[in-house]
Amino acid sequence: MKIAIIGTGVYSTALTYQLQKQKENDIYLWTEQPILVNKFNRFHKFDFLSKKIKFDSNVFLTAEIEEALQDASVIFILTSSKYFLEILTTIKPHYKKNVPIFVGTKGMNLEKNQFFSELTRKYLKCNSYTFFSGPTFANDLLGNAPFHLTFAGSNKIGYQKISRIFPTNLKAEYTNNLNGLELLATLKNIYAIGSGILAGEKVTDSVYYGYLSELLKETSTLLKKIYNSPETIFTYGGIGDFLLTTNSKNSRNFTLGKMIGSKDSHENINQYLKKTTVEGYDNLKQIPLFLNTFKIKNSILFRIYQIVFEEKEPEILYQIIEKEKNEIF
């Protein structure tokens, strides 16, 4: 089976490290940087990964999108959310609609309440779309320990292929709530900014874990209100990914929040945003419109927005607000 992977970031290359274990598969990664190709195909390494990480002979790198997609049985899209539509446009001339699409890109157009699943099916007319997320940082994928992913799709065609695609150390589950899983993957990055803010403020453990409890309750309420599926929070892509992202210093969203909470300079924060892709920050800009669409008031999400974009004091994340109960409903 030929597997095409669109994107050569840290996560996509780390996932490739796992997928290469299925020796009957050939994996073609596509990059926009031709200069990387000769070096990789010669040494089978990426400079941005540990020197110990070497890829097997069934992994190839190409700068030609047609070469990556030709005769592919499965296509993975693992790019930054801000370039997602641009990537779909690049893929479209070479795509055959019967080829299953797997997407690991986190985010959505909150302003229009439009998910990447809708964009993909609109642009590519694909018969099978599968989204996946879970508590897996790239560094964790560069080993042999078990990793956990939740899959959801337009149908189960893609999910039924995972035993041929992924190695045996994957623990997989399926949910019918595709949009709910996509929403969770978007919101956890925003909430991670909030947890970083609290870490920067050096709040007590009681305050910090109280915040985590509140955000899980808020998310469950949102899932119930919008999709009537609050149980989706208990998936790997739900509580597992939330706890990983909101607690880890390796999270770029957490790092941004900590800079804000510790009153780092605007110059340093802007430099960090310029050099780093922070998915939660990009989606946070659209949160007021998203909340207004569903008539949601007094949410943690909006308080994070106020701190980041209106320079409100971080204390609003954990102070008791009058008439707070039930307003989100």
pLDDT tens column, 145-156 = 999 999 999 889
Most confidently modeled of 101-110, 254-263, 273-282? 254-263
Q: Residue range 307-327: average pLDDT?
A: 77
Helix axes 84-91, 116-124, angle to 10 degrees: 20
**pLDDT at residue number 324:** 52
**pLDDT at residue number 144:** 86
Nearest to 190 by CA among 91, 39, 302, 276: 302
**pLDDT at residue number 78:** 94
Between residues 324 and 91, the one the model is more confident about: 91
Q: Is the pLDDT of residue 6 over 60?
A: yes
Which residues make beta-bridge pairs with 30? 6, 62
Name residue, tokens 């910090």: 208
Q: Is the pLDDT of residue 159 over 70?
A: yes
**pLDDT at residue number 148:** 96
Q: Distance between CA atoms of 159 and 197, rounded to whole angstroms?
A: 37
Q: Distance between CA atoms of 86 and 79, rounded to whole angstroms?
A: 10
**pLDDT at residue number 60:** 95
Q: Residue range 95-117: average pLDDT?
A: 86
3-state secondary structure of 320: coil
3-state secondary structure of 54: coil
Q: Is the pLDDT of residue 254 over 90?
A: yes
287 sits in which H/E element: helix 287-293
How many degrees, rounded to 5, is the angle at CA 126 between CA 120 and CA 130? 70
Q: Distance between CA atoms of 320 and 86, rounded to whole angstroms?
A: 43
Q: Distance between CA atoms of 72 and 101, rounded to whole angstroms?
A: 10
**pLDDT at residue number 81:** 84
Q: Is the pLDDT of residue 196 over 90?
A: yes
Q: Distance between CA atoms of 36 and 186, rounded to whole angstroms?
A: 31
Q: Residue range 53-79: average pLDDT?
A: 95
pTM over 0.75: yes
What would the two tokens of residue 218 be?
């808020």
3-state secondary structure of 147: strand
How many degrees, rounded to 5, is the angle at CA 37 between CA 33 and CA 41? 160
**pLDDT at residue number 48:** 85
Q: Is the pLDDT of residue 202 over 70?
A: yes
Q: What phi and psi values does residue 226 have, to the nearest 5 degrees?
A: -90, -40
**pLDDT at residue number 41:** 84
Which residues make beta-bridge pairs with 130? 102, 153
Q: Where are the beta strands (DSSP E) in the chain?
A: 2-6, 26-30, 59-62, 74-77, 101-103, 108-109, 114-115, 129-133, 147-153, 170-174
**pLDDT at residue number 327:** 56
Q: Distance between CA atoms of 310 and 312, rounded to whole angstroms?
A: 6
Q: Is the pLDDT of residue 326 over 70?
A: no
**pLDDT at residue number 329:** 47
Express each pLDDT in 173-184 by its tens digit.
999 999 999 999
